[in-house]
Structure 1
Amino acid sequence: MDDDEAGRYLLGRALELAGFTVTMAGGTREGLELLRRQRFNLVISDYRMPDGTGTWMLKQAASAGLLEGTEVLIFTGSTHVADAAGLKILSKQRGTEPIVAQVLKLLGTPPPPAPQERAMARIKLVLYTAGRSPASLRALRQMKSLLAQYESAQVDFKVIDLAEGRPTSADEDHILLTPTLVQRSPLPRTWVVGDLEDTTLVADLLDHSGVERRP
Structure 2
Amino acid sequence: MGVSEATRPNGQVLCVDDDEAARYLLGRALELAGFAVTTAGGVREGLEVLRRRRFNLVISDYRMPDGTGTWMLKQASSAGLLEGTEVLIFTGSTHVEDAAGLKIVSKQRGTDHIVAQVLKLLGAPAPRAAAQGQGPQESAMSRIELVLYTAGRSAASLRALRQMKTLLSGYEAAQVDFKIIDLAEGRPASADEDHILLTPTLVQRSPLPRTWVVGDLEDTTLVADLLDHSGVERRQ
* Amino acid across the alignment from 1:61: A
* Amino acid across the alignment from 2:210: R
> Which segments of 5 or more consecutive residues in structure 2 lack a partner in the other structure?
1-15
Cα RMSD of the aligned pairs, angstroms, is 1.6
Cα displacement (A) at 1:112: 4.4
Counterpart for residue 84 of structure 1: 99
Is 1:129 aligned to residue 161 of structure 2?
no
Counterpart of 2:39 (choices 15, 19, 24) is 24
CA deviation string 1:66-85 (max 9, x = no partner): 00000111122223322222
CA deviation string 1:3-40 (max 9, x = no partner): 11111111112222222221111111111111111111
Counterpart of 1:167 (choices 188, 209, 218) is 188
Write the distance in 1 (CA, Å) between the matches of 2:141 and 2:115.
Answer: 25
C-alpha distance 98-119 of structure 1, shift in aligned 2 (>3 A): closer
* Amino acid across the alignment from 1:176: L
Is 1:52 aligned to residue 67 of structure 2?
yes
Cα displacement (A) at 1:113: 4.7
Structure 1 contact 94–164 (Cα < 8 Å) conserved: no
* Amino acid across the alignment from 1:190: T
Cα displacement (A) at 1:111: 4.1
Q: TM-score, normalised by structure 1?
A: 0.93
* Amino acid across the alignment from 2:116: A
Is 1:63 aligned to residue 54 of structure 2?
no
Q: Secondary structure at the match of 1:24?
A: strand
Structure 1 contact 178–193 (Cα < 8 Å) conserved: yes
C-alpha distance 104-120 of structure 1, shift in aligned 2 (>3 A): closer
Counterpart of 2:179 (choices 158, 161, 168) is 158
Counterpart for residue 197 of structure 2: 176
C-alpha distance 79-120 of structure 1, shift in aligned 2 (>3 A): closer
Write the distance in 1 (CA, Å) between the matches of 2:209 and 2:83.
Answer: 51
* Amino acid across the alignment from 1:201: L
Cα displacement (A) at 1:114: 6.1
5 Å matches for 1:1-16? Answer: 1-16=16-31
> Which segments of 5 or more consecutive residues in structure 1 lack a partner in the other structure?
none
Write the distance in 1 (CA, Å) between the matches of 2:109 and 2:153.
Answer: 12
Write the distance in 2 (CA, Å) between the matches of 1:194 and 1:77.
Answer: 28
CA deviation string 1:69-124 (max 9, x = no partner): 00111122223322222211223314212222221222223344567444321211
CA deviation string 1:121-166 (max 9, x = no partner): 1211111111111111110110000001111111111111111111
Structure 1 contact 77–92 (Cα < 8 Å) conserved: yes
Is 1:119 aligned to residue 134 of structure 2?
no
Cα displacement (A) at 1:58: 0.6
What is the percentage of aligned positions where both structures have the same residue?
Answer: 87
Deviation >6 Å, runs of 4+: none
Farther off after superposition, 190-199 or 5-14: 5-14
Counterpart for residue 190 of structure 1: 211
Write the distance in 2 (CA, Å) between the matches of 1:112 and 1:123.
Answer: 21
Counterpart for residue 13 of structure 2: none
Write the distance in 2 (CA, Å) between the matches of 1:104 and 1:176.
Answer: 35
Write the distance in 1 (CA, Å) between the matches of 2:232 and 2:116.
Answer: 32
Q: Secondary structure at the match of 1:109?
A: coil
Write the distance in 1 (CA, Å) between the matches of 2:169 and 2:61.
Answer: 24
